[in-house]
Amino acid sequence: MNLIYNSEQYSVVEFGADDGREALRFGGYEIMDKPGKKEIFIGGTLAEAFRKNVETLIATEPSVEEIDAFLGNYDLLMSQPVVFH
């Protein structure tokens, strides 16, 4: 588990690939919308596509606002409430 992005709006945690678990075959990502207090975990081929899109985005040297806008594309998929233990 590795925190790969953290802004006032979003946080992204990367989980390493695990061949023993299909959901983590390509690794996985947890994206959290902090103000919205909701999150999503993506794994499998969606995680692979996310990684490729992030690599393309990073190559453009984006601003925090541009990264947050990219992550905002996942807002509609976020249905899991963030619960702190």
> pLDDT in tens for each of the 85 residues of the chain?
889 999 999 999 998 766 666 555 667 899 999 999 999 999 888 888 999 999 999 999 999 999 999 999 999 989 888 876 4
pTM over 0.85: no
> What dihedral do alpha carbons 20, 23, 29, 31 form, nearest 10°?
-150
Distance between CA atoms of 43 and 66, rounded to whole angstroms? 23
34 and 10 Cβ atoms separated by less than 8 Å: yes
Angle (nearest 5°) at CA 27 between 43 and 13 = 85
End-to-end C-alpha distance for the chain, whole angstroms: 18
Angle (nearest 5°) at CA 34 between 73 and 26 = 55
